[in-house]
Amino acid sequence: MTTPHLPVIIIGAGQAGLSVSWYLCAQGIEHLVFERHRRFESWRSNRWDSFCLVTPNWQCRLPGWPYRGPDPDGFMQKDEIVDYVDGFAASFDPPLHEGVAVSRVRIDAGVYHLTTSLGPFTADQVVVATGGYDSPIVPPYAADIDPAIIQMHSRDYRRPAQLPKGGTLIVGTGQSGVQVMEDLHRDGRPVHLAVGPAPRSPRKYRGRDATDWLHDAGHYRMTIDRHPDPAKALSQTNHYMSGRDGGKEIDLRQFARDGVRLYGSMAGAKGTQVRFLPDLEQNLDDADRSYLGIRTQIDAWIAAQRIDAPTEPPFVKVWRPEQEITAIDLAGAGITSILWAIGFRPDYGWLELDCFDSHGRPQYQRGVTRVPGAYFIGLGWLNTWGSGRFLGIDEDSRHLADQIIARDRQLRAA
């Protein structure tokens, strides 16, 4: 039986993989898209009920499918996002095979060999669009925590009713951690938060959304090769803010005033005993420094362009810890559950390609690897800040499609 051969195979049917498919379809390049679950599965299944975008709807600019709804400055909720991306897929009918897992990719004599649940395939070129959220991170010491304490990762959280009565300790203050914290707090539950080093951002500032100012100032056009600190950009957690209720800032100091118990970074746990680093105030100060830095950047743009914009009152720290609490007893504090919100690790073990560094991280220039015909798409700072978001997918996918089409022509001419 002959193994099916395609000019291009795309692995992953999120917005990144299907954006590349959109451009290939437009140019008549034969290809297939394999998706191990359903298209846009992470939007459908890995978000909580109250989830909404933290960037305005106008930043949703998939190829040929910009946001056309009535609220460009608003923030779509989970079901609206699914409708938006489903509409994008329906707009061009990609050659998609859902429920097909790719378990191995290797290259031999310039040809890619794929092992899939549908059988073997070969291809001239392969696009990896699986994202970086394969394996939820849970620290090793989680296994030592009293089994009476319910543990859950943010990927599995949907609503407060999933958790037992009593307090919840949320570990991590990236986007997921702070938004789940607010979800539980609004539900009237006792919330404890282990505050990590994540930065925060203004929401509305001087009459506009901060992201609008940054877009106008060219911040989102900065490429990783021009970034003043590329290593920091690649490793830094996303700035936290919220799109809920029309968009707002998240100031953890204010939540502390309102009853959320704050601690430093979680350092370890055994039984019902939990330890924290004495870095709460430092982490809050660092987050505020990031917040103020963005305000300063916007102020400079307004001044340089001589824009007549309203002024804002000076920033005030509304709360600070009187002392650093470095240990608690979960049972004594009434905590019955822990929610881990410390991120994910990618899994590239199935890719037998010479395009990874010593730490297993893919190496590329704008998604183009050193292995001819192998590409990545949909990762943070692939080229710009928007690369892992709706804002930058169109530009990134168009660039990769151009590379793919050029190589396809070379192969056909050879």
With the C-alpha atoms ordered 193, 387, 32, 104, is the resulting torsion angle positive or negative? Answer: negative
H or E element at residue 267: strand 266-270
**CA 92 – CA 284 distance, rounded (Å):** 46
Residue 105 and residue 21 share a domain: yes
Check residue 237 and give its pLDDT. Answer: 85
Check residue 107 and give its pLDDT. Answer: 98
Q: Which residues pair with 356 in a beta bridge?
A: 362
**CA 153 – CA 136 distance, rounded (Å):** 7
* Residue 327 dihedral angles phi and psi, to the nearest 5°: -160, 140
Residue 292 and residue 188 share a domain: yes
Residue found under tokens 């395609």: 6
Check residue 160 and give its pLDDT. Answer: 98
> What's the start-to-end Cα distance of the chain, in Å?
27
**Contact, 276 vs 171, CB < 8 A?**
no
Residue 260 and residue 153 share a domain: yes
Residue 161 and residue 21 share a domain: no
Residue 406 and residue 332 share a domain: no
Model pLDDT for residues 363-391, shown as the tens digit of each residue: 999 999 999 999 999 999 999 999 989 99
Q: Which residues pair with 339 in a beta bridge?
A: 152, 170
DSSP assignments along 379-410, one per residue: -TTSSBGGGGSHHHHHHHHHHHHHHHHHHHHH
Residue 359 and residue 288 share a domain: no
Q: Please list the ranges in the chain whose pLDDT falls under 70.
A: none
Residue 79 and residue 9 share a domain: yes
Check residue 157 and give its pLDDT. Answer: 98
Residue 172 and residue 256 share a domain: yes
Which of 323, 340, 357 is a domain's end point? 340
Check residue 81 and give its pLDDT. Answer: 98
Residue 382 and residue 336 share a domain: no
Q: Token pair for residue 9?
A: 């195979």
**CA 325 – CA 215 distance, rounded (Å):** 40
Which domain does 327 fall in, by range?
136-340
Residue 140 and residue 259 share a domain: yes
Q: Token pair for residue 155?
A: 């990927």
Give the number of domains in the chain: 2
Which of 292, 310, 340 is a domain's end point? 340
Residue 253 and residue 311 share a domain: yes
Check residue 235 and give its pLDDT. Answer: 82
Check residue 236 and give its pLDDT. Answer: 82
Q: Token pair for residue 154?
A: 């943010």
Total residues found in the chain within this entry: 414
Look up the CATH number of the domain holding residue 409.
3.50.50.60
Residue 251 and residue 167 share a domain: yes
Three-state SS across 76-142?
CEHHHHHHHHHHHHHCCCCCEEECCCEEEEEEECCEEEEEECCEEEEEEEEEECCCCCCEECCCHHH
**Contact, 379 vs 134, CB < 8 A?**
no
Which of 297, 325, 340 is a domain's end point? 340
- Nearest in space to 294 (alpha carbons), one of 175, 214, 218: 214
